[in-house]
Amino acid sequence: MLQTVLQLLATSLQIGAVYVLFSLGLTLIFSIMRVVNFAHGHFFAISALIVSYGVEHLVAMGFSVLPAYLLSTGAGIAVALILGAIVYQFGLRFFLRDMEGAFILTMGLALFLDGALLGAFGGAVRSVPEIVSGDVSFFGVAVTMQRLALCIAAVIVTVALYWAMSATKLGKALRAVAADHEAAMLQGIPYGKLALTGFLIAAALAALSGALIAPVSIVSPVMGSDYLIKGFMCVIVGGLGSVPGAIVGALFIALVEAVGGYYLDSSAATVAIFVLVIVVLLIRPRGLLAHG
Amino acid sequence: MDRLRIPWWLAGGASAIAATVLIQDAYTTSIINLIAIAALTAASLRFVMLIGEVSFATAAFVGLGAYSAGVATTILDWPFAVALLVGPVLVTAVSIVFGVITLRIKGPYFTLIGFAFTEAVRILFSKTEFIGGTSGMIGIFPPPAIDAWLSTIVMAVVVACVFALYAIEKSDFGKVLVAIRDNENIATSVGINVLFCKVACFAIASFCAGVVGSLHAFANNVISPGDFSFLLAAFALAYVKVGGESSILGAVFGAIILVLLDSYALGLGAGENLFYGGAIVLAVLLMPNGLIGLVTSASRRLARARAGNGPTLNRKTA
Amino acid sequence: MLGEDSPLLKTTGLTRRFGGLLAVSDLHFEVRRDEILGLIGPNGAGKSTTFNLISGFLRPTAGRLEVFGRNCTRISPIKISRMGLVRTFQHGSYVRTARVRDNILLGTVHGLSGAGRTDRNRRVEETAEILGLTPYLDNSAGTLPHGIQRLVSIAIAFAARPKLLCLDEPLTGLNQTEVATTLNVFQAIRRDFGCSILLVEHNMKAVMSVCDRIVVLHHGQQLATGTPAEIRNNDEVITAYLGKRHAK
């Protein structure tokens, strides 16, 4: 019994780690720009694809796995940042705080990127070899080193982001804008620049989570959409625009998915998640962590 | 009283229906069906926007309508007319229950409830074996006598429903809905039951969504859960935005433009998503108020230019 | 049943807390038939809270509210407005994007829902005429000057032909002529339609000239109740609010 509980907790943490990073980006965009980025999953997918190609080619050129992986991750994040800057400058900038317009714009972008990724990378499913190998045992529960590394990386990034949001000048400015953008502008905080910064951070987070999941999951141009939907659910449950909420929501959804997948099957688990989300929205529409 | 511009509607509707009678080519007919069904979907979504909400549940209701038609035809062997109506009636009942529960919530939260609902319903469709599970249902045909006239029936039903939505929007009830969107408290202060009006609006729009589902089932003969994901509602929203939100004709024009673009894009093979997605992005960037918005501001500029070329030329001579 | 002398509105010990803040406490006042009652007090005195309490938009923490003889202490605002108590709001009490005619129409919807378009339009035009809004019927409310917008908000409420019309600062932003006309309208409403009016206002001259009785609020408490003459000469009211100028 205890064994099962621990196993489920371990699975939840592993699933949750990626959800957390993915959702942090989504919630950051909503808190600053009051819009949802429908193409968020594509930043995730692009990075995973670049990592899968990069590792394969670099290893073939003689690099060992870990440096190849780190280089490719860097490339993936760089591409995501460039793409993010273009998307903001030529599109999203005109739809700040316009939920419907931004939704359609990013939906069109998502379709466009679907075509672009398929064209550039082909539809075949790929995989990335383990970067860190071996197994480890915690309290009788087996966890692969790779997944453990993923969790550790996610924790480090989350803590770093949380610290940055509370302690740095940029973080404080971002929170000011999220709380009351008009008041922040009156105090001289440049909203447009901050919106761009927030969007780029979110893109980097998505790219990082894509790079982290590449070694433990299949990589394909369409992997983003499933995460996008789950990501939305995490963000809703935790509270749109709340960073701690995204973390709580992601872990919560991951737990439901792990438990549901174990006792029922994965699609039943997904239905359970949706029902849960509806219940949360009816009772506490601003999310579990909201201020009432 | 607001003029309903009935002559224009009669002319437009008659031409559309006439087109379906005259055009025999199968491919063109299927495109026309697609456009008509898309137009009604967009009009239904836009009707809920009168109370200021974007309803993603529309996709689930279209699916429910389609599956009702499928079950009524292939499993229960009910007559065509009944099979057409079962969906809309069932959907309206479900939408009233759904609306009473969820319309107390507003804005992005209401949209997200609809989103979660639609996806949950889609998964439930795919897990229900007697309606075909993930493969869906096939063989949803109208009776042979009607088959040749199906596209005309589709167009006639769509024209009637779109006109009905337009007439309701222009009626006093429509004005109450718009007032509720702008300032709910005023409506309450003069004794209007705001929740009741919102649910009624939602039910009317959902009835049309159910109609869309029925028509979709008979026009395509084959349905599957994947047809009714949140993307259906997302595209309907794109039709409304690209065509222009301020008038129901915007929903219609947006549907025409985007469906035609998508059909063209299909011929591009791998480039389909590139083209269609790119077209949507460009449309939203270049026409933030949609096509109708573009036309309205252009005609206003024209009117101002014409007015400016007259009396201002009379200058007092010293 | 509502007797001839029963008040239209009666509050007994009406109190409302927001957490630690006591917004209004222990209000005892009534609005009688054919009466124009003024509710005055400095900003923060609790006038808006009182309005929200009597119209059902807020539940009282303690006390009792009777509207047209019935206990309405926990009744929803829709039911209270359908009984005949209609109120306006201090800011933006109209639909910005709609024409004046469609704004006033809102007030007719509940009462004339079964009656048909012609009857509703007639009520709209009558109401517009009484308030001097006839020239503006087809203008969009958001484009009109502030004073006209205030009249529109009164028109919406009055179109519902209430028995008790509660107006929240209806004279703000009106110039002297407009104020005088509007005060005449209030008296016409009271005289020709048997409607009582509860008025929250800052314009002291207007309040003193048109109200039959006045209730003074200060820090959420009822400082004084009486005729304009009594209030003008009430020492507490003078020190707290009016200043010597109005004491004549």
In a domain, B190, yes or no: yes
A278/B117 Cβ within 8 A: yes
How high is the pLDDT of residue C248? 45
In a domain, B179, yes or no: yes
C127: in domain:
yes
Name the residue with higher pLDDT: C37 or A133: C37
DSSP helix/strand/coil, C165:
strand
Q: Is residue B268 part of a domain?
A: no
Q: How far B244 CA sits from the closest chain A CA (Å)?
A: 12
User: How far is Cα C9 from Cα C55, in angstroms, rounded to an integer?
Assistant: 10
Q: What is the pLDDT of residues A219-246, one digit of tens each?
A: 888 888 888 888 888 888 888 777 888 8
Residue A51 · residue A211 · CB < 8 Å: yes
> What residues of B are in contact with residue C86 (Cβ under 8 Å)?
189-191
Whether the Cβ atoms of residue B123 and residue B212 lie closer than 8 Å to each other:
no
Give chain A's domains with CATH numbers.
2-283 (1.10.3470)
The helix (H) or strand (E) run that includes residue A62 is: none
Q: Is residue C39 a part of any domain in this protein?
A: no
Task: Give chain B's contact residues with A (Cβ, < 8 Å).
Answer: 54, 101-102, 105, 108-109, 112-113, 115-117, 119-120, 123-124, 126-127, 234, 237-238, 241-242, 270-281, 283-285, 288
Q: Which domain holds residue B13?
A: 6-230
| pLDDT at residue B314 in the model | 46
CA–CA separation, A56 vs A50, rounded Å? 10
Task: Place A142 in a pLDDT band, splitting at 50, 70 and 90.
Answer: confident
| Short-list B200, B54, B229, B49, CA closest to B124 | B229
Tokens of C87: 């109120």
Find the distance separating the first CA and the last CA of chain B, reported in whole Å. 51
Q: What's the pLDDT score for residue C243?
A: 62
- Sequence length of chain A is 292
The total of structural domains in chain B comes to 1
Number of domains in chain C: 1
Residue B283 lies in a domain: no
ipTM: 0.88
Q: Is residue B292 part of a domain?
A: no
pLDDT at C125 over 90: yes
Average pLDDT over residues C192-209: 92
Contact predicate C112/C123, CB 8 Å? yes
Percent of chain A with pLDDT over 70: 98
Chunked mean pLDDT (size 10), chain B, 318 residues: 78 88 87 95 97 94 96 91 94 96 88 90 91 89 89 94 96 94 93 96 97 96 93 93 92 95 84 87 89 88 78 47
Stretch C22-34: mean pLDDT: 92
Contact criterion met (CB < 8 Å) for B120 and A271: yes
* Cβ neighbours of A233 in B, within 8 Å: 116
Domain extent for C119: 95-161
Q: Which helix (H) or strand (E) holds A156?
A: helix A145-167
Of C155, C109, C108, C111, nearest in space to C131 by CA: C155
User: Hey, are the CB atoms on A275 and B120 less than 8 Å from each other?
Assistant: yes
Q: What is the pLDDT of residue A7?
A: 82
Q: Does residue C115 sit within a domain?
A: yes
Say what the pLDDT of residue C127 is.
95
Q: Does B158 fall in a domain?
A: yes
Contacts 24+ apart (CB under 8 A), C64-67: C64/C11, C64/C12, C64/C13, C64/C14, C65/C9, C65/C10, C65/C11, C65/C12, C65/C14, C66/C7, C66/C9, C66/C10, C66/C11, C66/C12, C67/C8, C67/C9, C67/C164
SS3 B192: coil
Residue C101 lies in a domain: yes
Q: Look at residue A200 and tell me whether its pLDDT is greater than 90.
A: yes
What are A96-118's pLDDT values in tens digits? 888 888 888 998 999 899 888 88
Spell out the residues 6+ positions from residue B96 whose beta carbon is closer than 8 angstroms to its own.
B199, B202, B203
Q: For C62-81, how does the pLDDT look when each residue is reduced to its tens digit (9 = 90+)? A: 999 999 989 999 899 999 99
pTM here is: 0.88
pLDDT band with cut points at 50, 70 and 90 for residue C245: low
Both tokens assigned to B54: 């974007």
What CA–CA distance (Å, rounded) separates B127 from A269?
12
Q: Predicted confidence band at C4 (pLDDT cuts at 50, 70, 90)?
A: low
Quickly tell me which residue has 């599957």 as its tokens. Answer: B224
Torsion angle of C-alpha atoms A102, A103, A107, A108, degrees rounded to 10 = -40
CA dist., res. A281 & res. A284, Å (int) = 5
Which residue in the set B108, B116, B280 is minimally distant from A99, CB to CB? B108
> What type of residue sits at position B41?
T
Distance CA A144, CA A282 (A): 39
Per DSSP, the residues of C198-238 read EEE-S-HHHHHHH-SEEEEEETTEEEEEE-HHHHHT-HHHI
* Average pLDDT, integer, range C48-71: 92
Provide mean pLDDT across the span A68-82.
92
> Does the pLDDT at position A291 exceed 70?
no
Sign, CA dihedral A74-A76-A78-A81, equals negative
Cα Rg, chain B, nearest whole Å:
21
Q: Which of B178, B190, B194, B196 has the most C C-beta neighbours within 10 Å, making it the best mutation to test the interface with C? A: B190
Does residue C52 form part of some domain?
A: no
